[in-house]
Amino acid sequence: MKKNLTHFTKSGEAHMVDIKNKNITDRIAVASGKIFMSKDSIKKIKEGNHKKGDVLGIARIAAITASKKTSDLIPLCHNINLSSVTVDFKINLSKKYVFCKAEVKTSGKTGVEMEALTSVQIGLLTIYDMCKAIDKSMIISEIQLESKKGGASGEWNRGK
């Protein structure tokens, strides 16, 4: 089955997708990503003695806020009322990275994949911002959609 890009008219012009005839369904999206950093940076985050304070706590608030602002950042995204946003960070000291996972939920006519991806990206960028004074070599990578549920296309899981 050939899928068409929905953000373009038949003549190739960009437009916002009309969702008025879509059904309201429960929708969930999960995204993840990593930020790799120096041993010193990750140690300061883990021990909670970074001079800028609670790095992961501030990054979590930034990530949640970003999910709510996605339609302000991505031109063709719909403004969505979110039901919940959960952001978790896990520190991998031996491999020197912080893993971020965001789960976004709504009950509506369009999905929340972009909100979950935006949440992860901004959470990791906030960590970068707070740690850049001691580590400019950080690398943000592996930003990806892990899964989504709801809507006409149903359920999708990475690797399945």
Phi, psi dihedral angles at 57 (to 5 degrees) = -65, -45
CATH homologous superfamily of 25-150 equals: Molybdopterin cofactor biosynthesis C (MoaC) domain (3.30.70.640)
pLDDT band at 1 (very low <50, low <70, confident <90, very high): very low
Angle between helices 39-47 and 55-68 (to 10 degrees): 90
List the catalytic residues: 129
Strand, helix or coil at 20?
coil
Q: What is the DSSP string of 93-135?
A: TTTTEEEEEEEEEEEESS--HHHHHHHHHHHHHHHHHHHTTT-
Per-residue pLDDT tens over the stretch 115-159:
999 999 999 999 999 999 889 999 999 999 999 999 878 899 998
Q: Which residues contact 64 (CB under 8 A, 6 or more apart)?
A: 85, 87, 119
Domain ranges of the chain: 25-150
